[in-house]
A and B are shown apart, each in its own frame.
Chain A
Amino acid sequence: MDVRAPGSWSVVAVAVAVGGLVGVGNPLLRASTRPWRLGEFDPAGLQMQEGIAVPKVDAPSTQYAFGTMAEGAEETHKFVISNAGDAPLKITRGATSCSCTVSDFEAVEGGETDGEKLLPPGGAAELRLKWRGKTGGAFRQQATVFTNDPRRPEIVFVVEGFVVPVWKAEPKSIVLTSIPSQGGVKASSRIFTYGKEPPTVKEVSTPDSETSQFVSFTTAPLSAEEIARERGATGGVLLDVEILAGVPIGPLRKTILIDLLLPEIVRAEVTIEGTVAGDLALAGQGWDSSRQVLQLGTISGRTGTNTQVFITAKGAHRDAVHPVVRDVVPASMQVAVGEGKPVGSGAVMRFPLTITIPAGSAPCNHLGSSQAPAGRIVLDTGHPDSPTMTIPVSVAVGP
């Protein structure tokens, strides 16, 4: 079929007409449909045509601060949504925060009460947000309402505040990551109270007796300055704890119960957690503390490998530690001990251990089984109580 090409002027005329429409329309459309973000309640650009009735949502307040709430107390705030337009406004209850109670819409004037409703022009509804302060600390809860007002299709109502507990320990759990068996580690916890009366310590006890002889504790009133620094606190007690010498190596967990008179008796609880460790330790990629083995895995004999771990030494004899390699299995593994350096405040010395399986190493299997016992690195440490350190190594060298 032959198609006769139109004349150039015809083409230009069509293009100008279409382009003109598009050129004028596109900016308008773009402005009217510009994406906007929650919280931008007045997105610019939407122009309603004269004479067409539209709903117009009016929610003058979308955020409310309850301030400070007591633990267990319940607070409610009512938000008002009204229709300032001249067409019916449809509002739908949308998403709410976990455990925040949101009422159905309650009619103020001209509406019904349910989760979705139509507000006539001039009508209004109330949305109640309720929060029970179950646990202490800051909270923020919200509820979303969807509307058929194209200028404001979604409104997020927010309530926030701070729940103050009866007491609060800071920290509630004293974690002493690495406790030397010589003891001497001290820590403290501040126990704040929020009632009318300042607390009096009636009794301090520890329910588990096994390690009691290795932990000592004292209490004293907190200073007015420290109490003032804690939001809402009206009183407080300082708990000082010391881990004593001889505490057995391994995990340590201890609970201290502090009975406070407020004037009713309230039991505060602080736990001490930590690990009592020896003076020498190993750290680095591949160190498996559960199995106490350095996992190098299967290495290609063609390429070999190189890795670095650290020996750490702490305690009174840390300056006496100077690791020297005494024995290595497999024999192809090369181990070099670097210079010792203090870490942080100097309570720990750090020695890099560079482990190399050179390219071209002979195949072997020391992955750690009955047929293939694990390899090892044996070091003379210089530590008077632990003169030798043996590091099991799980490694195989392939072809």
Chain B
Amino acid sequence: MPSPVRPLCRRPLLPLARMAAWAGRRGAATILAVLVGGSVLPDWAPAARADEAPAGPSRGAGVSDETAATFQKRNGVVFQGWPQPKAVLVFTGELDGYIEPCGCTGKENQKGGLSRRRNFLGALAAAEWPVVALDLGDQVNRFGRQTEIKFGSIVDGLKAMQYAAVGFGPKDLRLPAEEVVAAVSAVGDTPTPFVCANVGLIGFDSGITPLHRVVEAGGLKIGITAVLGDAELAEIRNDLIATKPAAEALVEPAAALARAGCDHQVLLAFATPEETKKLAARYPQFDFVVTAGGAEEPPAQPEKLPPHRAAGNPPVDRHLLELGHKGMFAVVIGLFDDAALPIRSQRVPLDARWGEAEGMIRLLAGYQAQLETLGLTGLGLTPSRHPTGRRFAGSATCAECHKSSFEVWTNSGHANALTTLETQTPRRDGDPECLSCHVVGWAPQKFQPYEGGFMGVKATPHLAQQGCENCHGPAAAHASAERGQVRVPAADRERLRSELHLALDTPQAKQRVMNNCLECHDLDNSPQFDFDTYWPQVEHGEEPGAAAAAAAALE
């Protein structure tokens, strides 16, 4: 794979006159020794080819050559040709609750997660790149006790990763203010990483989060503030949180940052790109402006904003940064002591090349342990009625008559769906966000049980695994009728049978079936899902009359 090459000489050569005089003093042998074997020569070495290790950090600690190469090939090489930067700004955001990528279809196929992010930051630090880590906000995307616990765990992770500044997203601030305050507050002498100009937790004068922050890295002074866009503020219905319009709220921190003599100023704007550009135009002092929204993947290069032209100063380049969604990427801005190329950017896919960080795995284990301790009831999960109003029987009941179909199911991945959660490290079988697609009787996209659905292995062992009724519908009434446990007219018995029948014989019928599959095989958890490819793996059907004959034998 060809690639740009690293610079051949990282240091300016000695001026000729100085070199000659120095040579005269030291002698030719010394010069030759220096030229041939000394410190200059390695800089003159042939340019690195693309198939050689890139110059910048390229993998997490302990990641094998093979893994690194696989993901460099799959998702691109990073930091090619980057010399040592003075400092790097690492931007993340819109984690949207994806504390780790789902492992349903192989975690290695997915990007994101705090563990990889930690190792990525570690790789930059190991390369002695001074890092300023900044997060836009929206750590979570749901509401309820599980989300509150997850928010606390993620914030603990950000603190452990020594984030310099973290903004708020609207979904963070939909959580109860008590929970947000408990998670983000300063601990002892360690200040909170959270910064926001137009959100005051329990009032602006509570002192819980500052309006702006100035940090130093690599000899550079970086000023940072954050705001929520006005449309995002409208989403927050929380009396304990005081807010101000973004443009108005930026007056004070912008003035403070201007006075602070920063080398670079960053605005983390959790707003639409349109609103962010308006804020950037009104406050041109910010040379890196981060916006929310946009597409799921960030663009390969940041958009250029009109340069800042302050009287008596040369124009300053400005950039608008999009970060994508779900924390799949980090966007890195490198700041260099190089007049020709003072700023470089790199979109970094947080894939398996960065490996797993032990500290973050422990944090995840703690999060899972909290979910397990609270249990489904403690997490406030109240079952809702299934749209059909019917109840579940369990796959073993189906097997009494539908023997050949059950055999297909038994040999499919669906039959081990819950087992895969139980055997993961840490185990995920207490996590409703995982359970919803791994047991019978849940609404997959709502992460909530239906009445009579799975409520734990002890209480409902017959509803473990991804069973028949998640596609065909709850079958308790049908099973009771076929067993003769309730007497029903023949027409009703036939109706109960037909309600569970799925057909693929018309485009509309097939679409209904596919839509049901997509409830779990969605873009997040099964990105390669294609019905026509997957269906043959679980294809089943009964010989005409076979099930009815078996049912007759039951009575």
Binding site for B on A (CB under 8 A): 3, 5-6, 8, 10-12, 14-16, 18-20, 22-23, 26, 29-30, 33-39, 43, 92, 94-95, 97-99, 134-135, 138-142, 144, 146-150, 153-154, 156, 158, 160, 171, 173, 175-178, 185, 187, 207-210, 250-251, 253, 255, 271, 273-275, 277, 281-290, 310, 312, 314, 341-345, 347-348, 350, 352
Contacts and interface: CB of A to CB of B under 8 A. Distances in A.
Interface core residue of A144, A187, A251, A283 (most chain B CB under 10 Å): A283
Interface core residue of B240, B380, B387, B527 (most chain A CB under 10 Å): B240
A381 B482 CA distance: 63
A275 B295 CA distance: 32
Given A34-B7, A99-B523, 18 more contacts: A11-B23, A14-B32, A19-B19, A22-B13, A29-B8, A35-B6, A36-B81, A38-B300, A134-B523, A138-B293, A138-B296, A139-B296, A148-B2, A209-B385, A251-B145, A251-B382, A284-B185, A290-B145
B32 to A, nearest CB: 8
B458 interface: no
Interface core residue of B2, B73, B83, B299 (most chain A CB under 10 Å): B2
B182 A178 contact: no
Given A273-B143, A341-B205, A14 B177 contact: no
B300 to A, nearest CB: 5
B344 interface: yes
Given A12-B23, A146-B1, A153-B4, A343 B80 contact: no
Given A35-B344, A287-B182, A175 B76 contact: no
Contacts of A289: 148, 176, 178-179, 182
Nearest to A352: B206
Contacts of B50: 146, 153
A343 B203 contact: yes
Contacts of A29: 8-9
B238 A178 contact: yes
Contact of B240 (A37, A290, A343): A343
A283 B352 CA distance: 39
A314 B238 CA distance: 11
Contact of A11 (B3, B24, B527): B24
A253 B382 contact: yes
B316 interface: no
Nearest to A273: B143
Contact of B16 (A23, A147, A158): A23
A33 B5 contact: yes
A346 to B, nearest CB: 9
A178 B2 contact: no
A251 B380 contact: yes
A15 B31 contact: yes
What secondary structure prevails in chain B residues at the interface with A?
A: loop
B177 A177 contact: yes
Nearest to A3: B29
B179 A310 contact: no
10 contacts: A5-B27, A20-B16, A30-B8, A173-B142, A175-B235, A178-B176, A289-B178, A310-B181, A350-B240, A352-B206
A35 B3 CA distance: 9
A256 B47 CA distance: 64
Contacts of A255: 384
Please classify how large the interface on chain B is, using the bins under 10, 10 to 19, 20 to 34, 35 or more: 35 or more
A312 B202 contact: yes
B13 A23 contact: yes
B441 to A, nearest CB: 15
A240 to B, nearest CB: 14
Enumerate the 4 nearest inter-chain pairs by beta-carbon distance, A residue then B residue, closest first.
Answer: A35-B81, A140-B295, A285-B185, A153-B2
Contacts of A341: 203, 205
Interface of B: 1-9, 13-14, 16, 19-20, 23-24, 27-29, 31-32, 35, 47, 50, 73-76, 80-83, 109-111, 142-145, 148-149, 174-179, 181-182, 185-187, 200, 202-203, 205-206, 235-243, 293-297, 299-301, 340-341, 344-345, 370, 374, 380, 382, 384-385, 387, 446, 448, 518, 522-523, 527-528
A343 B32 CA distance: 75
Nearest to A28: B8
Contacts of B143: 173, 175, 177, 273-274
A352 B74 CA distance: 54
B174 to A, nearest CB: 4
B29 to A, nearest CB: 6
B295 A160 contact: yes
A8 B82 CA distance: 40
Contacts of A20: 16
Nearest to B322: A140
B203 A344 contact: yes
A135 B523 contact: yes
A259 to B, nearest CB: 12
Contacts of A147: 2
Nearest to A318: B239
Nearest to B324: A140
B21 to A, nearest CB: 9
B9 A30 contact: yes
Contacts of B341: 34-35
B75 A95 contact: yes
A271 B382 CA distance: 14
A24 B83 CA distance: 22
A343 B205 CA distance: 9
Contacts of A171: 235
Interface core residue of A149, A251, A281 (most chain B CB under 10 Å): A251
Nearest to A132: B530
A158 B35 contact: no
A22 B9 CA distance: 10
Contacts of A345: 239
Given A208-B385, A255-B384, A343-B202, A156 B300 contact: yes
Nearest to A29: B8
Contacts of A6: 27-28
B76 A95 contact: yes
A273 B143 CA distance: 7
Given A95-B76, A142-B297, A37 B237 contact: no
